[in-house]
Amino acid sequence: MPETSTTVPSPRLHVVDHPLVQHKLTQMRRVETPSERFRQLLSETSLLLTYEITRELALQQVEIQTPLTTTSAPELVDDPVVVSILRAGNGLLDGVLRVVPGARVGFVGLYRDHDTLEAVEYYCKFPPMEGRTVIVVDPMLATGNSAAAALDRVKAENPEAIRFLCLLAAPEGVASLHSAHPDVDIWTGAVDECLNEVGYIVPGLGDAGDRIYGTT
């Protein structure tokens, strides 16, 4: 086993320890959980994680008419933009959009070079993001290289704020992402022990994309 790493507590790291998140995460970790059930659990968990990452979105007061009277009530200033890191990020995207259906969506296609563990981009398509809050989603924050590369591309669009949402993180990935982008907060369901020698999170749940889509 590789040596266990530790994560230095950071105000920019938010671990969502809700019992339902932890229960569903345990079911996803099980090797016998089939892809169909894994996808369902991931969608359900992403709903819960989205409630937390959107907790501080800006509100404004508007005048509305209820069935009884007029009143002033809060609504979002703007829906966030959601950026999915392909392909596994799409497993989180469904749940996020169920909570914020008005969000516009961008995509960054990245794959990890298995020799260097560096991120290689093959696709990028964004809606307008200038001055908006952007939520970047990817189930696994392992080495942090793919996440950092995606955030580089997002920052070039001049958003007002960026948040990163993942299901699982490794301490090495958290440290790497905070080193490259110290202004970006991370929300995750758990921070696991470490990375193994080929860059997978331990104990983890395997390759999220393969678990979602039934590939190997």
Q: Which residues are catalytic?
A: 112, 116, 207, 210
Cis amide leading into 203 (omega within 30) = yes
Residue 136's DSSP bridge partners are 83, 164
Give the Å distances, CA to CA, from 72 to 48, 56, 63, 69.
28, 20, 5, 10
First vs last C-alpha separation in the chain: 23
Distance (Å, whole) CA 144 – CA 26: 23
